[in-house]
Structure 1
């Protein structure tokens, strides 16, 4: 917790150790990572603030073999899948 807040209205966890849903007040009370764990903060990648969303979050059902193929290709598989779909669109726009 940062110096502005000395207590939390209610515990963050129940007796079973389950974390409750955090409120805006809870989040505001947390200290920045660099203040709490400076060595970890040096190695955790940081992204700049996104100016405008470039992608849309959706739910899609794909064949398990398609998902498995792209997941097995490693980190960034969703981006590669997006690139394949964009290439398909580009190719089929030309044909139309």
Structure 2
């Protein structure tokens, strides 16, 4: 029995069930592997931090990103 084009149910429940099963059991394609990082190499990231934190590190002028990096290193004990 076919339904109108606006119907939410597929016209063939078996095909819909097979498609859902295939989607649920198929392993997703993995993207390319990430290249190993180079020691000492810095990476560009986007980071959302509170405005007050940013102002604190920027108040002494240029080098604020290095100061944030140093604070994060201290926080992880390195």
TM-score with structure 2 length normalisation? 0.46
Task: Point out which structure has higher relative CO (alpha carbons under 8 A, 6+ apart).
Answer: 1
Higher-Rg member (1/2): 2
